[in-house]
Structure 1
Amino acid sequence: MFVGSETEKKRLSKAGKVGIALGVILPSILIIGLLLLFFKRRRSFSREFQTRNTYADHSSNPDVEGGSVYFGIPLFSYKELEEATSRFDLNKQVGDGGFGTVYYGKLHDGREVAVKRLYEHNYRRVEQFMNEVQILTRLRHKNLVSLYGCTSRTSRELLLVYEYIPNGTVASHLHGESAKPGLLPWSTRMKIAVETASALAYLHATDIIHRDVKTNNILLDYSYCVKVADFGLSRLFPNDVTHVSTAPQGTPGYVDPEYYQCYQLTSKSDVYSFGVVLIELISSKPAVDMNRDKDEINLSNLAIKKIQEGSLVELVDPCLGFDSDNEVKRMVVSVAELAFQCLQRDKELRPSMEKVLEMLLRIESGKHEPEHLEVVDAGHGVSNVNSQQPQPSISPEWDQIVLLKNVKPPSSPITVTDSWESESTTPNVSS
């Protein structure tokens, strides 16, 4: 009886020790496994970047940044770009965005360039860097800024090298440091609208959404030709889906209210932002102005309000000759009608960028007339821009306010000159 009891005690003691050992070893193995998985995933992006850089001929140059090619574009060395920008001199800074600062530079071969310097060299910025490189290298359009090259992933900093566009942004000419009365006549603004729409329609046709359309991203050369820039927020759009779900990004005052609310990105998000750009071209006012009344801080809100009141004339920049030139008045009213369509709250009620471009070309050529040419002018009654001409027939494209067939129109006016109350069109709220 004593012997059996002693044996039982030894067996239990041994089992207890095994249990304790397993209790210590198994959690340790689990923790080590999780740590290995974490570091493996952290390094996966770096390895992917390396494998994608199949174009680089490292043997051709001991400095893999210089003289090599990545995604079909040249790789610049950090040293060369540092020298080109005078060590990133603050006096050479020409732009500042959500993902990087842009500097003017001059390369050894004499080319003037804009060097975009990403803020941080971390996973997020490398991903953004690769995104922009991949998108820009596949695009060819006269109204899109060209990418000359970039630094390699091993560079001290991530840098993108663009063609330099010397005449600033549309924003600076409309309501910024370069703004002067009469500097941008309506004909030039119409040209800017058409060329910007052409660039965006091209992007959408290649399944790319810009996501940050604004006048600060529309550059001008000395002939006032447009170069749409800053694809840092661009998103490749899969062909087999209706939208991409993502957290709202972009610039307050331009963000699609439906995108902001539902986190659903579509090409119609760019259309909304372009509608704000059209209103800026008409009014010379910024998209957001905290000095305006509370319900007019967003330009889209102000525009809709003036449209509702039938007071478009109060929105138009007085320097455009709206009251003295019937042809200007015809085009401004037509563009305002188109902008109103772009600013519809429901994305399904907005036209596509292809349709927007088509209508702008018709307006510019004189082949399109506003549906109603009466414009309410506060203090001057009602005027008609073509009082001596018969009322033209309405084009088939405009027989529905939404420019879409088989869609019930919202409670909104037939044109921008009608007084109305709308429950369906609400501008976005800046944050």
Structure 2
Amino acid sequence: MSLDFEIEERMADRFRKLNSGGVERGDEGPKAAWEIDLSKLEIGHVVEHGDHGTLFRGKYYGQDVAVKLLDWGAEGDSSEDQIAHFRTSLKEVVVVWHEFNHPNITKFIGASMGTTNLNIPKDIPDHSSRKGARTDLPDRACCVVVEYLTGGTLKQHLIKHYRKNKKLPYEEVVRLALDLARGLSFLHSKKIVHRDVKSENMLLDPQLNLKIADFGVARLVEAQDPKDLTRTTGTLGYMAPEVLDGKPYNRKCDVYSFGICLWETYCCDMPYGPYSDLSFADFSSFVVHKNLRPEIPDCCPSAMASIMRRCWDANPEVRPEMEEVVRLLESLDTSNGGGMVLEKKKRKQPGGGCFCFFVPRAA
């Protein structure tokens, strides 16, 4: 066992003890095993601002952590009943998440259903791309703390190659895809639907191992009627047709999103570039009624292309389970590469466009 692994396990054990209630929590009384002591959480700087909260870097009992503050009512587009529903759903997920120990799922440290005792410095440094966004959150906000990974997001990793007009080695594409597929397969085995699978929500460690993050809109489907999953949730461009169409959906929406991520990782480019100016309604109509999908390059290995097409099939029942996707990826031959040379005439110049999809939606 490596020293790093031993230290990591000791820290994890310490977090479990600190969060399990008892005398170390002072006079507050026993709390749930996943609840954190906000007085021990130090906020360092803003990493990024999202539509439903802010991501910070911080420390918890001296350990580097990522802190996601969720406030679904920040833009005033959610009713009190909806916010209560979001909070309840998040609580259902963290109750399960805190027991996970999977190499492709970010390690959960703790959460709080309130932020009353959270201290956010007024002059906090802002390292985000949306500087100046609000960092003050009401008491109804929730706080989720996970391990901090220094490799950034998969999206950032792809952008670096995009700007150099380079593609990831085929072997790396398959390895990253396997990390994501194994993580999703594990979540689905635990009856969790992530609902916002995208490259921006995939974190990398220093060795570029991928871990799934951001469970802010995830749902524990066994805790409720799956037919309740009908709200439009996720990020346009990754959202399955049945989600866009307001129909009931299940874990197969994550499979669809995985297919888009697989294309994105293989091509190291932005799908739907020519359609980026469409409205939400128009783009949805193209996906739902005209079967719009990213264009797979002719040089893409047929086995890889087949996985993409099966994952983003219009019929959720036709899409494979993530467990099968893992097997399909494991069977790919990467010994002779399989990359492609991107045609510069089809590429936007750096700075000429945004390497992202459209606005996220959550409900």
TM-score range, shorter chain: 0.5 to 0.7
For the residue of structure 2 that corresponds to 1:193, the secondary structure is: helix
Query: Counterpart in 1 of 2:208?
Result: 224
Higher-helix-fraction structure: 1
Aligned residue type for 1:356: V
Query: Counterpart in 2 of 1:106?
Result: 59
Contact map agreement 1:279 1:303 (CA 8 A) in 2: no
Aligned residue type for 2:26: N
Aligned residue type for 2:98: T
Aligned residue type for 1:148: I
The alignment covers a number of residue pairs equal to: 290
- Measure how far apart 1:165 and its partner are: 0.9
Query: Counterpart in 2 of 1:238?
Result: 222
Question: What does the per-residue CA deviation read over 1:46-73, in whole Å, with 9 as the maximum and x for residues that have no partner?
Answer: xxxxxxxx96447950356xxx652x23
Query: Counterpart in 1 of 2:173?
Result: 189
Question: What does the per-residue CA deviation read over 1:229-277, in whole Å, with 9 as the maximum and x for residues that have no partner?
Answer: 0111111123997754331111111111112214312111111110100
Contact map agreement 1:173 1:184 (CA 8 A) in 2: no
- Measure how far apart 1:182 and its partner are: 4.0
Quick one: which of 63, 67, 85 aligns to 2:43? 85
Quick one: which of 265, 280, 299 aligns to 1:281? 265
Q: Distance in 1 between matches of 2:244 and 2:189?
A: 24
Confirm whether residue 259 of structure 1 aligns to residue 224 of structure 2: no
Q: Distance in 1 between matches of 2:196 and 2:69?
A: 18
Cα distance change on mapping 1:85 and 1:305 into 2, 3 Å: closer
Contact map agreement 2:93 2:192 (CA 8 A) in 1: no
Confirm whether residue 140 of structure 1 aligns to residue 66 of structure 2: no
Question: What does the per-residue CA deviation read over 1:7-37, in whole Å, with 9 as the maximum and x for residues that have no partner?
Answer: xxxxxxxxxxxxxxxxxxxxxxxxxxxxxxx
Contact map agreement 2:51 2:360 (CA 8 A) in 1: no
Query: Which structure is higher in RCO with an 8 Å CA cutoff and minimum separation 6?
Result: 2
Q: Distance in 2 between matches of 1:108 and 1:178?
A: 38
Quick one: which of 59, 62, 79 aligns to 2:27? 62
Contact map agreement 2:34 2:98 (CA 8 A) in 1: yes
For the residue of structure 2 that corresponds to 1:354, the secondary structure is: helix
For the residue of structure 2 that corresponds to 1:134, the secondary structure is: helix
Structure 2: gaps of 5 or more residues: 1-18, 74-82, 118-138, 344-357
Contact map agreement 1:128 1:232 (CA 8 A) in 2: no
Confirm whether residue 209 of structure 1 aligns to residue 193 of structure 2: yes
Contact map agreement 1:257 1:429 (CA 8 A) in 2: no
Confirm whether residue 345 of structure 1 aligns to residue 314 of structure 2: yes
Aligned residue type for 1:348: E
Query: Counterpart in 1 of 2:256?
Result: 272
Q: Distance in 2 between matches of 1:293 and 1:154?
A: 38
Cα distance change on mapping 1:176 and 1:135 into 2, 3 Å: farther
Query: Counterpart in 1 of 2:330?
Result: 361
For the residue of structure 1 that corresponds to 2:331, the secondary structure is: helix
Stretch deviating more after TM superposition (160-169 or 277-286): 277-286
Structure 1: gaps of 5 or more residues: 1-53, 87-91, 314-321, 323-328, 379-427
Q: Distance in 1 between matches of 2:359 and 2:317?
A: 20
% identical equivalent positions: 27
Q: Distance in 2 between matches of 1:289 and 1:350?
A: 25
Q: Distance in 2 between matches of 1:268 and 1:152?
A: 29
Cα distance change on mapping 1:188 and 1:69 into 2, 3 Å: farther
Q: Distance in 2 between matches of 1:365 and 1:283?
A: 16
Stretch deviating more after TM superposition (292-301 or 274-283): 292-301
Highest Rg: 1 or 2? Answer: 1
Q: Distance in 1 between matches of 2:320 and 2:304?
A: 13
For the residue of structure 1 that corresponds to 2:235, the secondary structure is: coil
Aligned residue type for 1:62: D
Contact map agreement 2:89 2:220 (CA 8 A) in 1: no
Q: Distance in 2 between matches of 1:429 and 1:164?
A: 25
